[in-house]
Amino acid sequence: MKKSSSALLVAGLVGGDPSGADTPRGAQPRTRPLGRTGLEIFPIGFGATRTMEPSLVRAAAEAGMNFFDTGRSYSGGRNEEMVGEALAGRRGKVVVQSKLELRLAPGSGADPAPADVRRVTGEMGRSLEASLRALRTDCIDILLIHNATDPGLAHHEAVRAFFAGAKKVGKIRAHGFSSHGNQIAMLRAAARVNFYDVVMVPYNHKGSYVHSNSGRSDAWDQAELEAAIGQARERGIGVVAMKTCSGGPRPPAGGGKPDFTSALGWILERGRVDGMAVAMANFQQIREDLAAYT
């Protein structure tokens, strides 16, 4: 059987058959349960935000990755379209995570006006429908609020009702939020309320990050963050790490030049999260990231 060009490229990158037959840790790459979602994910997920190349997404899937992260706001929705195109025909074999925006008018505070709530939840509904079309699916595995920073807003009754309704009719399988800042408070709130299924937060060996595109930065107390992650996971909430390479490269355990493979290896060794979404923009990065798990 003739292999696709992307399969041949990945075979060269990982040094084996892209089907996973030569994967060092077994006949197939191992997956892990993502909290209580019922979803199983390969621990290193493909963050699609930095590529518009379907062949790269296909190559990652052929190399054994089954968790793909995108968002409605990435490239004005075109990133979702690219992911949908790339994963056509694989839908039942992969886990797709996307995001929508939740924005109230400035000054709305913790108790927004009913009209503002109706507007926002209406926008969320339209965003979900657009994501379903772009991703060429009738159900998104995981839908997150993008960059949530206010625990009260994320857990507002109307917001929770929106997600519960979307899950009830089968348009999503799991719901949650990502948080680029105030993540410790957001995790604690998630554990306390115990509504959301998945939370995605910055986590890396440095305890800080600087976003290479936007310049946005943040830092956290590593012990506090890990404790909050633990509280969430104890409640069955799946926790996904992001900004995994934004803390910079890390020296390998045996010494040598710092690299990003070792940065991801640190996260895997700590065992604090269920998985990670790592932005990948080329085949070299796929190779480096997969090497952390082989």
Any idea what the CATH number is for the domain that residue 154 is in?
3.20.20.100
The pLDDT assigned to 6 comes to 45
Say if residue 212's pLDDT is above 90.
Answer: no
The pLDDT assigned to 28 comes to 41
74 is a catalytic site residue = yes
Number of domains in the chain: 1
The pLDDT assigned to 13 comes to 54
> One of 74, 196, 203, 209 is an active-site residue; which one?
74
Q: What is the mean pLDDT of the chain?
A: 90
The model's pTM:
0.90
What distance separates the 2 farthest-apart alpha carbons in the chain?
Answer: 61
Q: Which two tokens stand for residue 13?
A: 């990158």
142 and 172 Cβ atoms separated by less than 8 Å: yes
Q: What is the pLDDT of residues 35-75, one digit of tens each?
A: 999 999 999 999 999 999 999 999 999 999 999 999 999 99
The pLDDT assigned to 266 comes to 98
Q: Rounded mean pLDDT of 212-229?
A: 93
Domain that holds residue 86: 5-291
Say if residue 26's pLDDT is above 70.
Answer: no
Q: What is the pLDDT of residues 79-90, one digit of tens each?
A: 999 999 999 999
Of residues 226, 154, 230, 138, the one with CA closest to residue 195: 154
Q: How far apart are CA 285 and CA 264, in angstroms?
A: 12
pLDDT band at 176 (very low <50, low <70, confident <90, very high): very high
